[in-house]
């Protein structure tokens, strides 16, 4: 059936979405849409017919193709304000009270002394009063929420692992009784994540762990030493090997000019230890800043990458990781909000019950927004996070990355206005979609990646 007869004159005018990325390869055209997160492949000659249809000319574009492209939001009504759609998504996400989120610092103290660390870290472990208050706050939330999400955080959270076990038990009891969906994850340096600990965490329904390895031993041990200066690489890698079958592990590799070019050796070491296909690895950009609190990061600035530099390094890193079965081929998925800091019903709880909005603020007394005792009544410092608004930023409003980024890192925008808040998709979106398409084609021929791809709609008529 052709659109000329099926959808022609009576159909409202349609156009391509502003969030489409179109990649032509051989006799196919791939169209990715950031707002839906979907990707559609059509024959090149069909795509030409779609173009004629959108131009209001006589066209043989099939109804099936037009339907797929419309469902995937690649084609939208001419008068649709896509920014308004995103803005409504953002406002609903920031104001959502059906979900409750806590980031809990079980130990602000840390066993490491990383030179780029943005925290000052006195040896504080979550105290008994804060444990009690956490349960009180959850009890107040239970009647109105459908889900409860916890991130165990530090300093080094496993220095307070007994608190994780105790609180998890109490959280699970309450959520299971109230039929509330519970999920948890942990951000840890990995040094204390033995297999036994991983098993305890899994029993606590911790669903994933993020661990950091900053290169092969020579560079990692310089960037992430113990407090006494001793190395940590071997212990962490042993733990990852032992725990990877217990707990999904994502390895973050922080990159800057000081460990540039060394990640390939790290990736080879991971393969040698049998971690191919068992962990995922991704690069992180070190952003150092000075908030006048005496954190190590305050003197670390000179070696950090700019966003464009990092965007290039990231592509190279991921290509090498994918080739070794250590990374998946993904594209940014649409989100409603960028992070916990801008969501009204989420809190970051320090070891003494003090509250923050942003992970980066933990331990910074200038950024305390209140206390668990009076959690419903934060001070004015909370407002700068809750009022963060990418829809007042002309750069975000015109940015193709907006659906998957939603304004990026509010903290980075506050301390260093410009592009430090940004997703690299803004700079490398075409390359990212092309890489994705190449992986999808390879998967179709049986030579693809081991990790699942987005569902791809291939329309053949």
Choice between 46 and 156, CB closer to ligand SF4: 156
Q: Which two tokens stand for residue 143?
A: 């009647």
Of 119, 151, 210, 243, the one binding ligand SF4 by CB under 6 A: 119
Chain centroid to CA 278: how far? 19
Q: Angle CA(25)–CA(34)–CA(62) in degrees, nearest 5?
A: 55
Other Cβ atoms closer than 10 A to 453: 17
Q: Write down the least CB distance from residue 80 to ligand SF4, Å.
A: 19
Q: Angle CA(236)–CA(239)–CA(244) in degrees, nearest 5?
A: 120
| Site stretch for ligand SF4 (CB under 6 A), options 96-104, 112-120, 125-133, 245-253 | 112-120
Please report whether residue 310 would count as binding ligand SF4 according to CB under 6 A: no
Contact of 86 with 17, CB cutoff 8 Å: no
Choice between 141 and 188, CB closer to ligand SF4: 188
Nearest CA-CA partner of 212 in 119, 259, 281, 271: 281
Choice between 62 and 212, CB closer to ligand SF4: 212
Please report whether residue 42 would count as binding ligand SF4 according to CB under 6 A: no
Binding residues for ligand SF4 restricted to 126-185, rule: CB under 6 A: 154-156
Please report whether residue 114 would count as binding ligand SF4 according to CB under 6 A: yes
Please report whether residue 189 would count as binding ligand SF4 according to CB under 6 A: yes
Q: Write down the least CB distance from residue 296 to ligand SF4, Å.
A: 7
Please report whether residue 331 would count as binding ligand SF4 according to CB under 6 A: no
Helix (H), strand (E) at residue 165: helix 161-178
Of 407, 411, 432, 433, the one binding ligand SF4 by CB under 6 A: 407
Return phi, psi of residue 271, to 5°: -65, -45
Other Cβ atoms closer than 10 A to 10: 6
Q: Write down the least CB distance from residue 104 to ligand SF4, Å.
A: 15
Contact of 113 with 161, CB cutoff 8 Å: no
Residues touching ligand SF4, count (CB under 6 A): 24
Of 31, 35, 76, 117, the one binding ligand SF4 by CB under 6 A: 117
Please report whether residue 395 would count as binding ligand SF4 according to CB under 6 A: yes
Q: Which two tokens stand for residue 453?
A: 């791809």
Nearest CA-CA partner of 37 in 77, 2, 89: 89
Residue reference for tokens 């009022």 = 387
Chain centroid to CA 380: how far? 28
Nearest CA-CA partner of 104 in 340, 381, 387: 340
Nearest CA-CA partner of 153 in 288, 378, 340: 340
Chain centroid to CA 452: how far? 17
Q: Write down the least CB distance from residue 189 to ligand SF4, Å.
A: 4
Of 244, 275, 402, 410, the one binding ligand SF4 by CB under 6 A: 402
Choice between 19 and 100, CB closer to ligand SF4: 19
Binding residues for ligand SF4 restricted to 207-236, rule: CB under 6 A: 224
Choice between 189 and 330, CB closer to ligand SF4: 189
Q: Write down the least CB distance from residue 352 to ligand SF4, Å.
A: 17
Choice between 47 and 359, CB closer to ligand SF4: 359
Contact of 87 with 134, CB cutoff 8 Å: no
| Site stretch for ligand SF4 (CB under 6 A), options 53-61, 105-113, 286-294, 348-356 | 105-113
Chain centroid to CA 320: how far? 20
**Residues in the site for ligand SF4, rule: CB under 6 A?**
110, 112-114, 117, 119, 154-156, 189, 224, 390, 395-396, 399, 401-402, 405, 407-408, 421-423, 426
């Amino acid at each position: 059936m052709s659109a000329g007869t099926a959808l022609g004159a009576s159909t409202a005018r349609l156009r391509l979405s502003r969030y489409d990325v179109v990649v032509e390869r051989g006799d196919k055209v791939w169209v990715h849409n950031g707002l839906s997160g979907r990707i559609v492949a059509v024959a090149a000659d069909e795509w030409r017919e779609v173009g004629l249809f959108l131009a209001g000319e006589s066209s043989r574009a099939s109804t099936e193709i037009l339907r797929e492209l419309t469902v995937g939001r690649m084609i939208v009504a001419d008068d649709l304000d896509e920014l308004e759609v995103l803005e409504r998504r953002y406002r609903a996400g920031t104001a959502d009270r059906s979900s409750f989120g806590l980031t809990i610092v079980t130990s602000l103290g840390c066993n490491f002394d990383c030179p780029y660390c943005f925290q000052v870290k006195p040896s504080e472990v979550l105290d008994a009063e804060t444990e009690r208050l956490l349960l009180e706050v959850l009890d107040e939330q239970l009647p109105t929420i459908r889900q409860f999400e916890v991130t165990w955080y530090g300093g080094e959270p496993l220095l307070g692992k007994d608190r994780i076990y105790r609180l998890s038990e109490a959280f699970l009891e309450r959520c299971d009784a109230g039929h509330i969906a519970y999920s948890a994850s942990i951000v840890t340096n990995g040094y204390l994540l033995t297999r036994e600990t991983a098993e305890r965490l899994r029993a606590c329904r911790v669903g994933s762990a993020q661990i950091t390895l900053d290169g092969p031993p020579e560079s990692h041990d310089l960037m992430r030493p113990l407090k006494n200066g001793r190395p940590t690489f071997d212990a962490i890698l042993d733990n990852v090997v032992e725990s990877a079958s217990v707990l999904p592990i994502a390895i973050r590799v922080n990159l800057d000019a000081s460990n540039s070019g060394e990640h390939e050796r790290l990736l080879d070491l991971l393969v040698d230890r049998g971690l191919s296909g068992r962990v995922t690895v991704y690069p992180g950009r070190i952003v150092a800043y000075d908030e006048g609190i005496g954190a190590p990061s305050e003197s670390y600035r000179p070696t950090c990458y700019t966003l464009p530099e990092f965007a290039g390094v990231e592509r190279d890193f991921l290509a090498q990781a994918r080739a070794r079965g250590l990374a998946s081929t993904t594209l940014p998925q649409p989100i409603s909000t960028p992070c916990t800091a801008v969501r009204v019903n989420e809190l970051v709880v320090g070891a003494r019950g003090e509250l923050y909005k942003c992970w980066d603020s933990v331990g910074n007394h200038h950024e305390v927004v209140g206390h668990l005792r009076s959690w419903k009544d934060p001070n004015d410092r909370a407002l700068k996070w809750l009022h963060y608004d990418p829809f007042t930023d002309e750069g975000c409003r015109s940015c193709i990355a907006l659906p998957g980024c939603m304004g990026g890192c509010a903290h980075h925008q506050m301390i260093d206005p410009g592009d430090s808040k940004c997703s690299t998709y803004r700079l490398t979106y075409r390359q990212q979609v092309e890489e994705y398409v190449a992986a999808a084609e390879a998967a179709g021929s049986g030579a693809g990646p081991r990790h699942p791809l987005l569902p791809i709609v291939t329309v053949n008529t």
